[in-house]
A and B are shown apart, each in its own frame.
Chain A
Amino acid sequence: MLSAADLALVLLILACAAMRAVGLLVAGRLRTDHPFVRWAASVALATLTAFVLAAVIAPGGILAEIPLVSRVAGLSASVAILFWRGGLALPVLGGLAVTLGLAAL
């Protein structure tokens, strides 16, 4: 007998697999420059942007323990390092260092 937590997890796993499958099926015959594909990419990028900014500006849970100014400065530092030096690990670690350094002050 599944517990409520197990049942919820099984349902979520099935739902997530179904969303991925429907996306692959729907777009399976479309070209990369089809308007529907470009719209979907635009929605996915905008969703990711909202996720990042919400996590920085108004996070829930444990992230709220980091002060707002540290979070904003950290993301700004990551972006600045990206445009200055490029790469991916360096901007992420630099941004984290700025976040934690400011939070520790």
Chain B
Amino acid sequence: MVFRSACREALGAPALAMAATFLAFGAAVQAAGLGLGWGLAAGQLVYGMPGQMVLLAAVNAPGGPLPAVLGAVAANARFLPMAVALAPWLGPRGPARFLALPFIAVTAWAMAMRRLPDIPPADRITWYLGFALTSWTVAGLSTRLGYAIAPLLDGWILAALLFINPLYFGTILAGETRFAPARRAVLCGAVATPLVLLLPASWALLGAGLVGGTAAFLWGQRGKSGAERR
């Protein structure tokens, strides 16, 4: 019941955002001259779009694979704080939490941080797996479809598909600002965004996030009142 309801939830707006982004990724893999297997492995096993895009853009550049990998790892380094923040919400301690490991990605994470606090602890991992497996499946099917129809997608359609992603996460973040800690994080993240333009590209997002997120956390500690914690 919990599993099915999470699957249904994932098939709404989250599936729209996932499908659009991974469709565009599949098309970009085809345009780069790489195989469908490479695209599917990247989409399903890396399962973190900024790192996937960094790797795709840099993989054939001179200098060997290592710089491309380091840039992509830095672009996806948010997995670490995301996993730290998510782990205590995944229900009772134990190995079952590790079932979520391959599916810790921003779409499922953002929705989980909103929904899990209202779900009984024993049902949380089931909810997460239902939501995340559905999103993951949509991502794989969309990568395959994007690869197949790449020649039909012109620049404008690809740009529109890719822009759904920031609109989707922007909407989620705006909704999160109802809660004081998230409001502080979003505000400080916005103030730190110019760092994205100043730091080396591969570290830019994480750098801005570390500065903004730490500032928001310290702000919350200063004016700490237990009542406003989620």
Report which A residues bind B (CB closer than 8 A). 4-9, 11-13, 15-17, 19-24, 26-58, 60-63, 65-66, 71, 74-75, 78-79, 82-83, 87-89, 91-93, 95-96, 99-100
Partner of A92, one of B57, B167, B206: B167
| Contact across chains for B87 and A24 when beta carbons are under 8 A apart | yes
Q: At the interface, is chain B mostly helix, strand, loop or mixed?
A: helix
- Asked if residues B38 and A42 are in contact (CB atoms below 8 Å), the reply is no
- Please name the residue on chain B nearest to A33 by beta carbon: B229
Contact A48-B106, Cβ < 8 Å, known A38-B217, A92-B13: yes
Q: Whole-angstrom distance from the CB of A41 to the nearest CB of chain B?
A: 4
Is the pair A92, B193 in contact by a Cβ cutoff of 8 Å?
Answer: no
A-B pair count, CB < 8 Å, reads 303
Given A43-B212, A44-B209, A88-B171, 15 further pairs, Cβ under 8 A: A4-B60, A8-B59, A12-B51, A12-B72, A15-B76, A16-B45, A20-B101, A20-B104, A42-B185, A45-B182, A48-B106, A50-B209, A63-B162, A88-B14, A99-B160
Contact present for A16 and B69 (CB under 8 Å) = no
How distant is A59 from chain B, measured CB to nearest CB, in Å? 8
How far apart are the CA atoms of A3 and B183 in the complex, in Å? Answer: 45
- Given contacts A28-B93, A65-B156, whether A75 and B206 have CB atoms under 8 Å apart is no
Name the prevailing secondary structure of the A interface residues: helix
User: How many Å lie between the Cα of A34 and that of B59 in the bound state?
Assistant: 39
Tally of chain B residues near chain A (CB < 8 A): 102
| Chain A residues near B204 (CB-CB < 8 A) | 50, 54
Q: List 26 A-B contacts (CB under 8 A).
A: A8-B65, A15-B73, A16-B79, A20-B79, A20-B104, A23-B82, A32-B88, A32-B89, A38-B217, A39-B213, A41-B113, A42-B185, A43-B78, A46-B209, A46-B210, A47-B210, A50-B212, A51-B50, A51-B169, A53-B196, A54-B197, A57-B193, A62-B158, A66-B160, A75-B170, A92-B164
Is B186 among interface residues, defined by CB-CB distance under 8 A? Answer: yes
Choice from A7, A58, A92, A93 contacting B196 with Cβ under 8 Å: A58
- CB < 8 Å: which of A9, A24, A53 contacts B41? A9
Separation in Å of the B31 CB from the closest CB of chain A?
10
Q: Let me know if B200 is at the binding interface, CB within 8 A.
A: no
CA distance A78 to B78 in the complex (A): 25
Q: Are B159 and A24 in contact (CB under 8 A)?
A: no
Task: Give the distance in Å from the alpha carbon of A93 to the alpha carbon of B168 in the complex.
Answer: 9
